[in-house]
Amino acid sequence: MYGTGILKGLGVTLKHFVDTYIEDLRWLGRKRYGSPEGIAHRASKGSRGIFTVQYPEEKVPLPEEFRFIPFLVYDEGQEGEKILRCTSCGICAKVCPPQCIWIVRTTDPSTGRPIPDPAEYYIDADICMNCGLCAEYCPFDAIKMDHNYELASYKRMVFDKETLAKPAAYYESIRPINATAENAARAAKVAARAGKME
Ligand code: SF4
Ligand code: SF4
C-alpha cells in the first residue's frame, strides 16, 4: 500500500521525540548536562531520544579505536632522553594512501650507511585522512593514531618529528587494551630470543 513507508518513518520520528522527553524526566534533578555520568550515559547504547552535546564544554568520551592524526611513540632512556621507536624503515610512508609522510634517514658520516633513526620525519596533517594504515603496518609500534582532534588552525599543519613525538605512557593512557597486548607480545619476543641464545 502506498504511503506505509512514510507512516513508518513518521512513527520512528515520533518515537524519538517522545523518548527525548521521557529521558529528560528520568534525569530530572540529576546533573544531566556536563556531569561525566550524564555524558557517558548519552553516549552509550542505552541512551534514548535525541540529545545535544554542549561542545566544547562537554565532550563525548572517545572509544579506544578512535583515530586522529598519528604521533610517534618514544620510550624514555635511563637519563630521561627520548628514544623514538621509529627506525626510519619507511614502511608507513610507502603505505600512506595520500603520501603525506616524509622521512629522511640518518646516515653514518664516516661510512655513508643508513642508521635506523629518522634524521627528519614529517606528516602533512592537512592531507592526512586518518586512515590509520601507517599505525597498522609499522613493525615497531612506533607510530600510533592519536585521540587529540582539537587541532584546528589557520596555518598549514606540517608536523615535524619533535611535534609528533609523544611518550609511550601517553599511548598507554589513550589505548590501554592495545598497549597491554603489544607490550605482552614484545616481552614474549624478547623472552623467546633470550631462550634461543642460551
Ligand atoms: S614509524 Fe614505523 S613504519 Fe614508519 S618509518 Fe618508523 S618504524 Fe618504519
Ligand atoms: S593515518 Fe593514513 S593518511 Fe594519515 S599519515 Fe597515516 S597512512 Fe597516511
pLDDT per position as a tens digit, 93-110: 999 999 999 999 999 999
Distance from C-alpha of 194 to C-alpha of 190, rounded to nearest angstrom: 6
**CB of 17 within 8 A of CB of 10?**
no
* Contact 96 CB / ligand 2 (< 6 Å): yes
* Contact 33 CB / ligand 1 (< 6 Å): no
Domain edge (last residue) among 41, 60, 79: 60
Same domain (yes/no): 18, 82: no
pLDDT per position as a tens digit, 37-84: 877 787 788 788 887 788 888 888 899 999 999 999 999 998 889 999
Q: Say which residue the cell 589557520 belongs to.
A: 154
Pocket perturbation via mutation, ligand 1, pick of 94, 103, 128, 141 by most ligand atoms within 8 A of CB: 103
**CB of 128 within 8 A of CB of 93?**
no
Same domain (yes/no): 41, 81: no
**CB of 137 within 8 A of CB of 128?**
no
State the amino acid at position 162 in one-letter form: E
Atom 4 of ligand 2: nearest residue by CA position: 128
Atom 6 of ligand 1: nearest residue by CA position: 86
Count structural domains, the chain.
2
**Which numbered atom of ligand 1 lies nearest the CA of 88?**
5
* Contact 103 CB / ligand 1 (< 6 Å): yes
* Contact 86 CB / ligand 1 (< 6 Å): yes
Lowest mean pLDDT among 8-17, 46-55, 116-125: 46-55
Query: Does the pLDDT value for residue 1 go beyond 80?
Result: no
CATH number of the domain within which 151 lies? 3.30.70.3270
Same domain (yes/no): 38, 106: no
Same domain (yes/no): 173, 96: yes
Same domain (yes/no): 40, 76: no
Pocket perturbation via mutation, ligand 1, pick of 73, 84, 89 by most ligand atoms within 8 A of CB: 89
Atom 8 of ligand 2: nearest residue by CA position: 96
Predicted local distance difference test score (pLDDT) of residue 58 = 83
Q: Furthest-apart CA pair in the chain: how many Å?
A: 83
Supply the range of the domain harboring residue 20. 1-60
Same domain (yes/no): 128, 168: yes
Q: Is 148 helix (H, G, I), strand (E, B) or coil?
A: coil
Same domain (yes/no): 72, 56: no
Q: Say which residue the cell 603489544 belongs to.
A: 182
Domain edge (last residue) among 60, 90, 107: 60
| Residue closest to 174 by CA, chosen among 71, 102, 58, 78 | 71
For the record, the C-alpha cell of 166 comes out as: 609523544
Q: Cα(141) to centroid of ligand 1, in Å?
A: 8
Distance from C-alpha of 123 to C-alpha of 135, rounded to nearest angstrom: 13
Same domain (yes/no): 24, 109: no
- pTM value is 0.84
Q: How many residues in the chain?
A: 198
Same domain (yes/no): 55, 78: no
Atom 2 of ligand 1: nearest residue by CA position: 138
